[in-house]
């Protein structure tokens, strides 16, 4: 009859914005916890012996923050002579541990100003898809460790509250094995009973709406080669086992 029509699709983004805000606040609280607890953080390349330190780690060792990348060979002499061989042995032994294994150690250091400190160090070795390795470490001055643990516990509790309040589904996925870990809300979103089997990439893909499945697989694929810390937003429909569709 020549009349014109306009079709519209309306999306309520209130919850999405609330969720994004909760994540930003959680990340900010975690950063605040690291700074408040005065944690020294380092990322090391075992192949080259070079690494990147945050400002606090320089201060723990009594060094001036520098743009130069610290080298393991320069750091080891700062370890107390009586602990040095043990620490060097632990560094070598960690390369034989399975990736993802957290190694904890305590040792003394002797700073350039002559002061001695006792440190508690947690280190984690990871192997990238290309076979290269990286080691992340978190260092605490033992004298302040109790206060640091209390601050971290409070921060983790706040982050957990933010996730629960925003009803966020949280998942961790090992791209190499295709297996992962979900929080309870993620199971509920997908219409599954919490703990109903080990989540997998294939299982997630099966829940994606057939019309979105190819797009989803295409969007996820680049994450295999993405650098650490890379983020990607994907909006996709799912079809739950009960037939209900969600976006």
CA angle 93, 94, 100 (to 5 degrees): 155
**CB neighbour list of residue 230: distance below 8 Å, 6 or more residues apart:** 223
Q: Which of 101, 105, 131, 129 is nearest to 118 (CA)?
A: 105
Q: What is the pLDDT of residue 7?
A: 44
Identify the segments of the chain with pLDDT beneath 50. Answer: 3-12
Contact 234, 216 (CB under 8 A): yes
Helix (H) or strand (E) run with residue 125 in it: strand 116-127
Distance, CA of 50 to CA of 53 (rounded, Å): 10
Distance, CA of 240 to CA of 179 (rounded, Å): 19
For helices 145-165 and 14-36, angle between their N-to-C axes, nearest 10 degrees: 180
Global confidence as pTM:
0.47
**CB neighbour list of residue 63: distance below 8 Å, 6 or more residues apart:** 111, 112
Contact 234, 213 (CB under 8 A): no
Contact 64, 58 (CB under 8 A): yes
Distance, CA of 152 to CA of 128 (rounded, Å): 28
Handedness of CA 74, 48, 90, 34 (dihedral sign): positive
């Amino acid at each position: 009859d020549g009349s014109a029509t306009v079709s519209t699709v309306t999306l309520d983004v209130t919850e999405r914005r609330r969720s994004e805000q909760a994540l930003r606040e959680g990340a900010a609280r975690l950063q605040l916890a690291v700074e408040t607890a005065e944690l020294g953080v380092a990322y090391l390349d075992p192949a080259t012996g070079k690494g990147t330190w945050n400002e606090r780690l320089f201060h723990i060792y009594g060094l001036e923050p520098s743009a130069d990348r610290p080298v393991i060979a320069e750091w080891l002499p700062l370890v107390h002579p009586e602990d040095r061989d043990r620490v060097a042995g632990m560094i070598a032994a960690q390369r034989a541990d399975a990736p993802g294994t957290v190694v904890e150690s305590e040792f003394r250091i002797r700073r350039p100003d002559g002061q001695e400190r006792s440190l508690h160090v947690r280190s984690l070795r990871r192997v990238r898809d290309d076979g290269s390795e990286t080691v992340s470490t978190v260092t605490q001055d033992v004298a302040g460790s109790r206060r640091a643990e209390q601050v971290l516990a409070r921060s983790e509790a706040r982050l957990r509250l933010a996730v629960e309040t925003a009803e966020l589904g949280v998942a961790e996925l090992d791209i190499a094995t295709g297996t992962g870990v979900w929080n309870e809300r993620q199971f509920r979103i997908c219409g599954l009973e919490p703990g109903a089997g080990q989540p997998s990439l294939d299982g997630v893909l099966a829940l994606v709406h057939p019309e979105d499945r190819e797009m989803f697989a295409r969007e996820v694929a680049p994450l295999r080669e993405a650098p650490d810390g890379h983020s990607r937003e994907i909006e996709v429909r799912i079809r739950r086992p009960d037939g209900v569709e969600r976006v």
